[in-house]
Amino acid sequence: MTSFRISEAAALLGVSDDTVRRWADAGRLELERAPNGMRMVTGTELVRLLGDEPDGALADAFPLARASARNRMLGLVTAVERDGVMARVELRAGPFRIVSLMSREAADDLGLEPGCSPRRARRRP
């Protein structure tokens, strides 16, 4: 079973190390001790926490999380390929490359073009 250090779990969840520790202290997240004494979080425990919708720890930490990711994603569009019905959009978000497949209509409505940011792309009337 894969286990993560508290800092790794925090990065995966998008919260601070202290938040992970507080959740563990409050009983929302179960930590285990590794043979070296470090407190660790199992991957299955992270999956359980992510599945605690709609009133789980992540929902408490991110009350606006019900908005679609495209309305909150910070990054830069690097490529858009449109065909008859679909569009393939590449996005760089920090060190990550994200590829999204969406309807051409959605890409057009969002005004997605290379060099724009999904958060700043404008919806067309």
Question: Does the residue 27 lie in any domain?
Answer: yes
Mean pLDDT of the chain: 80
- Mean pLDDT of all residues in 96-111: 90
Say if residue 40 is in the same domain as residue 74.
no
Question: Does the residue 119 lie in any domain?
Answer: no
* pLDDT single digits (tens) 16-67: 899 999 999 999 889 999 899 999 999 888 888 876 544 555 555 555 555 5
Query: Which residues 6+ apart lie within 8 Å of 68 measured at CB?
Result: none
pLDDT class of 11 with cuts at 50, 70, 90: confident
Say if residue 86 is in the same domain as residue 57.
no
Residue 38: CA atoms inside 13 Å, Cβ hemisphere, count? Answer: 10
- The token pair at 2 is 């894969």
CATH classification of the domain holding 46: 1.10.1660.10
The pTM score is 0.49
Is 77 a residue whose pLDDT tops 60? Answer: yes
State the total domains in the chain.
2
Question: Does the residue 123 lie in any domain?
Answer: no
Q: Which structural domain range is residue 46 located in?
A: 3-61
Say if residue 13 is in the same domain as residue 31.
yes
Say if residue 13 is in the same domain as residue 51.
yes
Q: Is residue 49 within 8 Å of 97, Cβ to Cβ? A: no
Say if residue 82 is in the same domain as residue 102.
yes
Say if residue 34 is in the same domain as residue 7.
yes
Say if residue 44 is in the same domain as residue 78.
no
Report the alpha-carbon distance of residue 116 to residue 97 in Å, rounded: 15
